[in-house]
Each structure stands twice: as C-alpha cells, then as structure tokens.
Chain A
C-alpha cells in the first residue's frame, strides 16, 4: 500500500497549499455546445465537467411520458480517459447512483408541472476527475438548465466538505477524499436557502456536522455568485461585441 500523504501541513495549510476554507480555482462557461438547448462547462481545479440539456421535448419511448409533469432524465457519466486507470465506459453502479441523486436535486427546483408529457434530458460528462465530480456536475447541470431557459426556483451550487486529519476542509480533491475521514457533498440553492443534495461518506460528530454544513453553505454561496455572474456575462459579452 502507498503511504498516506501529508494532508494538513505543519503551517496549517493543505497538501496543495490551500487554507481549510479555500475553494479550488473555479472556471465556468455557458452555451458551449451548439446542438444542445443549454450547455455548460465547469472546472473545479483539475475536475472538468461538461453538461448538456435538451428539452422540453417529446418523450421517447412514448410510454415513459408522465401525464402531469415533465419527465426529467439525467445521465452522469465519466469519460474513459477521465481517470488515471481507464474507466470502462459502461455505466457503473456508482454512476447510476449519482445520476439519481443529481436528478432528484434538480427535480426539486425545476417547475416540471409546466410541461406535461415532455422530457427534459440532462447529460453530465466528466472529462477529468480529481474529486468532487458530482458537485461539479450538479453545478454544470444547473447552469445548463438555466441556459436552456427552463423555469427553475433557483440555481444549485454543488460543493463538498471533508474531514482530513481531523480538520474540516472545503472542496476536497481526490487525495483528500481517498485518505480523509469524511466526505460530505451538498447541493445548495443559495437564494431560497435550501439544501437540495446531501450525502455523507465517513464519520462526523453532530457538532462537526453542523460546522461542516455552515462551511459548505459558505463555499456554495461563493460558487453560486460565480454561476450568476457567468450567466450575466454571456449576454454582456454580446453587448460589448
């Protein structure tokens, strides 16, 4: 077994030089795909994700259509080249689960009852994975939905909090996830102050959990502001041109 790396250095900084409450550098872009109704590209450090949204459109196969609301379908998928060992392109147990939790988070904000008998299809493709792919994917999917003009209660920003070497840290990466004690991804709709996704892998005391939620909300708010700015800037760019 490979020896555990130093996660919290003597100066209190993390292995990549971040403070515990720092996010990785985040990049966002919307409207990157021509053929999709809405699309987004999001980077959390070395994690890179593309999301595309189609719809509302006719449901195929027809029997899946719901009479009272839109069918929301979500596919989270990791590209075979996204990890250091080639990942089989077939959907794994993990990908099916993540597709489900991301879909459920988004279902809670989309006004799906406006479009009965239609489908809204969300595709999340992880191009490069370095921890936090589900949260990056959720952020990207939320931006792509907004870009597709689908009515939503709010945008959702995804961010993970972890516990490494006994310290609560924001936006953990692959190494911290692997050798840390806990990983808690959340999806947060900042404007309406609601948590849309919450998972926890590992052990936190009730007190740590409360602090972790606060830390995650704080980080998600920063990401949320950047999401809003990204959507705004898309149109600002056209004005300036």
Chain B
C-alpha cells in the first residue's frame, strides 16, 4: 500500500461497509479487495467492506470484523466435530462453509480399509483438534492431526464462541489467554474456528473460565477489557 495515506478514522472506531477509512495518493480503478484487512480499494479511497473496528498501525489501516462466520486458512488450528465416518476418512464440521476431511492414514499407521473399522478409533460426536493441511477453495479441505497437541479430545469441556471474537479471547500476543490460564489454573485452547477447549482441575474453576470467556465475547469491542476480566476473575476466585 502507498506510503502517503490520509487516514480519516480513529483507532478502534466502529466502521460499517462503505465507510471511507483513508485517501491514497494514486488511483486504482478496479475495486480491489484485501481479505486480510477486510477493506477494499476503489479509486483513491480505502473503504471498509465489513462491520468492524478500525485498526491503525504504522500508517496503514485495516478492519477487525465484529460479525461473520469462520473462513478457513491453511495452518489454522481448529476443533471439529465428527459428523460422518467413511471407508477411508472422517468428515468433520469445523463451522466453516466447507466440509473438512480427515484421512485415516493420518491417525492409523499402516492403514488398510479391509482390516480396520474407523469407528473403533474416532466416532461420530467426537471432537478433534486438528490443523488445516490443504485448502484451495475448489475442493473440501483436508485436516491433519500430526503435530503437538493435536488429536481427539478425551477430557474437559468444549464451548462454542463467535469466530469473530477469537482474537479478543486470545488478546494481543496472547495476553488475555495468559490471564485466563494463570488465574484459573485451567488449560485453555482457543481454536481459530471459535471452539474453545477447557481443561480444569475442578468444576468451579471451569465454570468461572466459561463465564469469563462469555464476558469477553459479549464485550469484545470495548477498551480495557483485560482489566475488566482481571477484576472479574479476582472477584469470582476470591
């Protein structure tokens, strides 16, 4: 993007589709969409394409969406619910517009469809922590469970949050998540598709962790949220 931008919005301001965020020096005639920034460029204007919060960094402007479904990206860690078992693969619902496929060879060594029944390993209704291995929009996406911390969920609780709130629950450089884990003593995994896996020592702390995450979800666009959550956790845990 150009070096000379005239930015028209304030940081963390609520913006809507069609709101002009900044004026550039040069002109581009064909509307160009920038998927990472959720803005598009038209003529000499940078315009918001979604309902969200403006984010200004180093003379550049982008929008953090406040609404919207999860859209997959290669390398994302997701938690999927198994919805189907095939001959050589499992079908997972990862709350995206596309089905996710987990091949049996990922899970079972020397897999042969004649000798093994996939239901003995993973069945419908199981939650799986996986990474997106292949996704090019033309075919259903492929998952992998090869990696640290990936695989079937056997303990703890799983809750769903709005995918657009995931960055807030994690916080800047993981600050919010660190706060949650250190205060409650729970092990919390926030998947990119808005599914959260919580493992706690006792029920009380898991209850508090869920409440805290719901608090973050409902107030995602507020300033000083980390402080509020800290106060909430101190009060609840006292």
Binding site for B on A (CB under 8 A): 37-38, 55-58, 67, 109, 111, 114-118, 146-155, 189-192, 228, 231-232, 235-236, 238-239
A-chain residues with CB within 8 Å of residue B18 when the two chains form the complex = 152-155, 189-192, 228
With a cutoff of 8 Å between Cβ atoms, the chain B residues found around residue A37 in the complex are 67, 69
Return the chain B residue nearest A152 by Cβ.
B17
Set B17, B69, B97, B137: member contacting A155, Cβ < 8 A: B17
Nearest Cβ in chain A — how far from B217, in angstroms? 11
From B31, B67, B138, contact of A38 by CB (8 A): B67
Q: Does B219 contact A (CB under 8 A)?
A: yes
Known: A111-B33, A148-B68, A155-B16. A117 touches B218 (CB 8 A): no
Give chain B residues whose Cβ lies under 8 Å from the Cβ of A151: 17, 33, 38, 40, 49-50
Q: Which residue of A lies closest to B162 (CB)?
A: A149
Shortest Cβ distance from B136 into A: residue: A116
Residue from the set A115, A117, A191 with the largest chain B CB neighbour count within 10 Å: A191
Whether, in the assembled complex, B51 has its beta carbon less than 8 Å from a beta carbon of chain A, the answer is yes
A43 to B137, CA, bound (A): 39
Q: Of B17, B47, B137, B221, which is within 8 A of A238 by CB?
A: B221
Q: Which residues in A have their C-beta under 8 angstroms from that of B38?
A: 151
Give the residue name and chain of the B residue nearest to A189 (CB).
Answer: B18
A111 — which chain B residues lie within 8 A by C-beta? 33, 40, 49
Whether B69 pairs with A149 at a CB distance below 8 angstroms is: yes
What are 27 A-B interface contacts by the 8 Å CB criterion? A37-B69, A57-B69, A58-B99, A109-B17, A111-B40, A116-B138, A117-B98, A146-B50, A146-B51, A148-B68, A149-B50, A149-B51, A149-B67, A150-B68, A151-B38, A151-B50, A152-B17, A153-B49, A154-B17, A154-B47, A155-B18, A192-B18, A228-B19, A231-B51, A236-B14, A239-B221, A239-B222
A151 to B14, CA, bound (A): 15
Q: Which residues of B contact A55 (CB under 8 A)?
A: 69, 97
B232 in the interface (beta carbon within 8 A): no
**Taking A38-B67, A149-B67, A235-B66 as contacts, is the C-beta distance between A192 and B42 under 8 angstroms?**
yes
A150 to B18, CA, bound (A): 12
B33, B38, B67, B71 interface centre (most CB from chain A within 10 Å): B67
Closest to B52 in A: A149
B50 nearest CB across to chain A (Å): 5
For the complex, give the distance between the alpha carbons of A148 and B47 in Å. Answer: 18
Q: Min CB distance, B19 to chain A, in Å?
A: 7
Contact B69 A56 (CB under 8 A): yes
- When each residue 15-40 of chain B gets 1 if its CB lies under 8 Å from chain A and 0 otherwise, what string results? 01111100000000001010100101
In the bound complex, residues from chain B placing their C-beta under 8 Å from that of A190 are: 18
Name A235's contact: one of B33, B71, B221 (CB within 8 Å).
Answer: B221
Closest B residue to A229 by CB, please name it.
B16
> A231 and B138: CB pair below 8 A?
no
Q: Which of A56, A154, A232 contacts B14 (CB 8 A)?
A: A232
The answer to whether A153 and B40 have CB atoms under 8 Å apart is yes
Residue of A nearest to B99 (CB): A58
In the bound complex, do residue A191 and residue B20 qualify as a contact, i.e. CB atoms below 8 Å apart?
yes
Q: How far is the CB of B139 from chain A (nearest CB, A)?
A: 9
Closest-CB distance, A228 to chain B (whole angstroms): 5
